[in-house]
């Protein structure tokens, strides 16, 4: 099935911001409320410090004019209509206290948000990973693996930037703009109009250049994913690249993608780096214009009369203190408008990344309506069976009957029956047609056919990686739809054509088939798979560490470990999908002997291109385009002189 693309980074689902904030508050309500209060305290302290500078200037100038020592003598003044009678020393002490409160509040909310961000990322990643574990195989068949990987790297990082930087900075800047603007309006409407005009220019610059920067930053993130995917693909296929001498072609392909990344990144950074200096210079321009307007108000009667505050009642020296305070507030206003505009890109990218991550979390998990369970049993002398908590190697299907409330136990033997099974990955194209197979305990059933004939699809249906469209599959007489998926899969041992080994010791990789297996059982499984000899020759034997999917082993050795993993599972049904495809002829004979011992009393399904590995099968199914066109033993099919006979004699190849 062709992979489909995960939501593009630039596309944001409606309600993503609300959902992300809700997730944050659900997990860290106290920390976020305290952080918000600290931000308010910090902004309040900054605004108050600006006002206090005006009061200090006014008190100092008034005290000196009246022949007082303002450091120790209280000076009665009126600032913005509020009477004040204190010393400059007390005002400076109060100013220090205000700054201290602001510094502490700033430190506390930054520290708290850093902790909250990392905790949330930890919880969010786990939620994504845990949810992903329960998604159906269909999801991974229809989504590019590189795109899924980028969710845990690039998209998660955009969320981190949003929570740790954009969210608190936006709140802080927004409150600072509101508080400072309110106080400026109280001081002078004319000087505030200058600030509004310059703020409009800054906003216009943010919309034009900032919008362009956001667009290119999103393109940059998309291209980063493309480049990462190309690197991953190159590393995985490096041997093929070298075998066919495609190094130069690979370099050219990477250069094109990397050059595209450079272009997007350059455009993004040019726009981003241009926006901030322009806004900063508009802020400087505003500072000068505000000072000029303050002088005009002071010296031109018409301006003074139209001011919001009645400056006619205060002296020129008093007004200087108001200008001083206003200029500090205007600087605070412009800086925070600049900070606010700077967060636009991080907000857009964060919401796009969060939207993609939520898409994963919204994917419907694998449904399991089964109720028949796999349980351990012990056999009594009279032949009856009963459930036990002991870890025996005998199992039964525990079947609760809703109709009469009774529970029956059916011993697990591995009797598999497929009756008229149809299946389609997509509704418009049926893959399997009327598949009927009867596999009794101890039988070996082989599937033969060209690539795409439907061999592996049949085994995927046995695992219930996919559900059939029509027909029935029964396991020991029980419809597999009634069996819990985990219990069903515990009863199946499987060796895939593509071997997957995990970082850990050889012992741990084999024990992956059954986590409660003893060391002796692991050794026995390795002997069955004929892997014991080569394992004991490794530097640390069974304690040898494997990494990089077992890169320090040969392909055949990796396959032997995979077979040993299935052997230790000791399941009543074994599925071998090209299990010996990467093993030489001599090793294949050894493995085949081990498999013969392993399948005794068990049902075995074998998919193989090497017809020599299926000659001793109880039944061989020849598939073509999802249909069984021939069935029988090796001798029967040879006698029929049909497709199997032609394959066996080399008249034509499987492919």
Query: In this structure, what CATH number is given to the domain that contains residue 24?
Result: 1.20.1560.10
Residue 246 DSSP SS3: coil
Task: Please choose, from the candidates 260, 317, 330, 319, the residue with its C-alpha nearest in 3D space to the C-alpha of residue 290.
Answer: 330
Q: Do both 342 and 470 map to the same domain?
A: no
Give pTM, 2 decimals.
0.75
Question: Domain for residue 9, yes or no?
Answer: no
Q: Do both 339 and 263 map to the same domain?
A: yes
d(CA 389, CA 391): 6
Question: Domain for residue 8, yes or no?
Answer: no
Q: Do both 397 and 496 map to the same domain?
A: no
Residue-wise DSSP of 542-597: GG-EE-TTTTTS-HHHHHHHHHHHHHHHT-SEEEEESTTTTS-HHHHHHHHHHHHH
d(CA 563, CA 386): 32
Q: Are 308 and 293 in contact (CB under 8 A)?
A: no
d(CA 334, CA 338): 6
Residue partners of 150: CB distance under 8 A and separation at least 6: 225, 228, 229
Torsion angle (degrees, nearest 10) of CA 444, 449, 451, 456: -30
The HSE-up count of residue 612 (CA atoms within 13 Å, CB side) is: 10
Q: How many domains does the chain have?
A: 3
The pLDDT assigned to 574 comes to: 86
Q: Do both 402 and 467 map to the same domain?
A: no
Residue-wise DSSP of 499-542: ----SEEHHHHHHTT-TT--HHHHHHHHHHTT-HHHHHTSTTGG
d(CA 217, CA 167): 18
Question: Domain for residue 505, yes or no?
Answer: yes
The pLDDT assigned to 479 comes to: 92
493 CB-contact burial (10 Å; exposed 0-12 / middle 13-18 / buried 19+): buried
The HSE-up count of residue 636 (CA atoms within 13 Å, CB side) is: 11
Count the neighbouring beta carbons within 10 Å of the beta carbon of residue 619: 20
Q: Do both 161 and 42 map to the same domain?
A: yes
Task: Please choose, from the candidates 575, 567, 628, the residue with its C-alpha nearest in 3D space to the C-alpha of residue 416.
Answer: 575
Q: Are 622 and 644 in contact (CB under 8 A)?
A: yes
The pLDDT assigned to 123 comes to: 92
User: Which two structure tokens, joined as six digits, stand for 182?
Assistant: 């309110």
Task: Please choose, from the candidates 372, 367, 377, the residue with its C-alpha nearest in 3D space to the C-alpha of residue 401.
Answer: 372
The pLDDT assigned to 239 comes to: 66
Please say which residue of 296, 331, 362 terminates a domain. Answer: 362
The pLDDT assigned to 588 comes to: 67
Q: Do both 378 and 478 map to the same domain?
A: no
The residues of the chain scoring below 50 in pLDDT are 1-10, 304-314, 653-655
Please say which residue of 411, 439, 470 terminates a domain. Answer: 411
Residue 382 DSSP SS3: coil
Question: Domain for residue 1, yes or no?
Answer: no
Q: Are 151 and 360 in contact (CB under 8 A)?
A: yes
The pLDDT assigned to 586 comes to: 67
The pLDDT assigned to 5 comes to: 44
Distances (CA, A) of 261 to 161, 200, 214, 222: 21, 33, 15, 9
Task: Please choose, from the candidates 343, 313, 336, the residue with its C-alpha nearest in 3D space to the C-alpha of residue 173.
Answer: 336
* N- to C-terminal Cα separation, the chain: 19
Count the neighbouring beta carbons within 10 Å of the beta carbon of residue 267: 17
Q: Are 47 and 178 in contact (CB under 8 A)?
A: no
Q: DSSP code of 166?
A: I
d(CA 64, CA 618): 112
Q: Do both 586 and 561 map to the same domain?
A: yes
Q: Do both 389 and 457 map to the same domain?
A: no
Q: Do both 108 and 160 map to the same domain?
A: yes
Residue 42 DSSP SS3: helix
φ, ψ of residue 76 in degrees (nearest 5):
-80, 120
β-partners of residue 85 are: 76
The pLDDT assigned to 389 comes to: 85
- CA dihedral over 590, 592, 594, 597, signed as positive or negative: negative
Q: DSSP code of 182?
A: H
Question: Domain for residue 510, yes or no?
Answer: yes
Q: Are 617 and 633 in contact (CB under 8 A)?
A: yes
For residue 457, give its domain range: 416-648
β-partners of residue 399 are: 408
Residue-wise DSSP of 361-378: HHSPPPP----BEEEEEE
Q: Do both 442 and 579 map to the same domain?
A: yes
Helix (H) or strand (E) holding 167: helix 167-187
The pLDDT assigned to 121 comes to: 92
**What's the distance, CA 256 to chain centroid?**
27
625: CATH: 3.40.50.300
User: Which two structure tokens, joined as six digits, stand for 441?
Assistant: 């305990």
Task: Please choose, from the candidates 221, 196, 353, the residue with its C-alpha nearest in 3D space to the C-alpha of residue 286.
Answer: 196
Question: Domain for residue 316, yes or no?
Answer: yes
Question: Domain for residue 127, yes or no?
Answer: yes
Question: Domain for residue 368, yes or no?
Answer: no
Q: Do both 323 and 398 map to the same domain?
A: no
Q: DSSP code of 165?
A: I
d(CA 71, CA 55): 13
Q: Do both 344 and 382 map to the same domain?
A: no
């Amino acid at each position: 099935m062709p992979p489909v693309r995960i939501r593009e980074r630039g596309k944001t689902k409606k309600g993503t911001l609300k959902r992300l904030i809700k997730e944050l508050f659900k997990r860290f309500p106290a920390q976020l409320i305290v952080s918000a209060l600290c931000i308010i305290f910090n902004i309040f302290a900054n605004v108050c410090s600006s006002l206090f500078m005006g009061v200090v200037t006014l008190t100092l100038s008034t005290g000196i004019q009246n022949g007082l020592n303002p450091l120790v003598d209280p000076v009665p003044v009126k600032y913005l209509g509020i009477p004040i009678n204190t010393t400059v020393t007390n005002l400076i002490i109060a100013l220090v206290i205000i700054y201290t409160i602001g510094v502490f509040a700033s430190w506390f909310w930054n520290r708290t948000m850093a902790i909250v961000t990392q905790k949330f990322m930890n919880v969010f990643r786990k939620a994504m990973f845990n949810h992903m574990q329960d998604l159906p195989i269909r999801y991974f068949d229809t989504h590019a693996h590189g795109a899924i990987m980028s969710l845990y790297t690039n998209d998660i990082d955009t969320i981190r930037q949003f929570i740790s930087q954009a969210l608190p900075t936006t709140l802080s800047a927004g409150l600072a703009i509101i508080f400072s603007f309110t106080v400026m309006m109280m001081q002078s409407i004319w000087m505030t109009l200058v600030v509004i005009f310059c703020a409009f220019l800054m906003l216009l610059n943010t919309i034009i250049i900032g919008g362009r920067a956001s667009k290119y930053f999103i393109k940059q993130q998309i291209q980063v994913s493309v480049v990462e995917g190309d690197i991953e693909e190159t590393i995985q296929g490096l041997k093929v690249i070298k075998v066919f001498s495609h190094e130069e072609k690979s370099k050219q392909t990477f250069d094109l993608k990397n050059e595209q990344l450079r272009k997007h990144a350059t455009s993004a950074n040019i726009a981003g780096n241009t926006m901030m200096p322009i806004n900063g210079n508009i802020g400087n321009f505003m500072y000068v214009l505000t000072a000029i307007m303050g002088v005009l108000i002071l010296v031109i009667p018409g301006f003074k009369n139209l001011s919001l505050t009645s400056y006619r009642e205060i002296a020129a020296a008093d007004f200087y203190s108001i200008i001083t305070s206003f200029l500090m507030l205007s600087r605070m206003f412009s800086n925070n408008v600049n900070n606010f505009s700077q967060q636009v890109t991080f907000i857009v990218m964060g919401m796009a990344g969060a939207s993609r991550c939520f898409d994963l979390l919204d994917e419907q998990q694998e449904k399991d309506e089964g109720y028949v369970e796999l349980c351990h049993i012990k056999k009594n002398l009279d032949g009856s069976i009963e459930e036990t908590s002991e870890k025996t190697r005998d199992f039964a299907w525990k079947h609760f009957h809703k109709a009469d409330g009774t529970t029956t136990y059916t011993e697990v033997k591995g009797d598999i029956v497929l009756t008229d099974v149809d299946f389609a990955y997509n509704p418009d194209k049926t893959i399997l047609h009327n598949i009927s197979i009867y596999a009794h305990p101890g039988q070996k059933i082989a599937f033969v056919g060209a690539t795409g004939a439907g061999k592996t699809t049949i085994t995927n249906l046995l695992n219930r990686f996919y559900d059939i469209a029509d027909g029935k599959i029964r396991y020991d007489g029980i419809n597999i739809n009634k069996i819990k998926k985990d219990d069903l899969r515990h009863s199946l041992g499987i060796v895939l054509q593509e071997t997957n080994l995990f970082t850990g010791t050889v012992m741990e990789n084999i024990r992956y088939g059954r986590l409660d297996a003893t060391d002796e059982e692991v050794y026995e499984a390795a002997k069955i798979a004929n892997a014991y000899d080569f394992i004991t020759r490794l530097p640390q034997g069974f304690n040898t560490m494997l990494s990089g999917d077992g890169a320090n082993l040969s392909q055949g050795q990796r396959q032997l470990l995979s077979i040993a993993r299935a052997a230790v599972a000791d399941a009543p049904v074994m599925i071998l999908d090209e299990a010996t495809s990467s093993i030489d002829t001599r090793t294949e004979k050894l493995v085949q002997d081990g498999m013969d011992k392993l399948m005794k009393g068990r049902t075995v399904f074998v998919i193989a291109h090497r017809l020599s590995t299926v000659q001793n099968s109880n039944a061989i199914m020849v598939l073509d385009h999802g249909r069984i066109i021939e069935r029988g033993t090796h001798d029967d099919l040879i006698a029929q002189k049909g497709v199997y006979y032609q394959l066996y004699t080399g008249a034509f190849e499987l492919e």
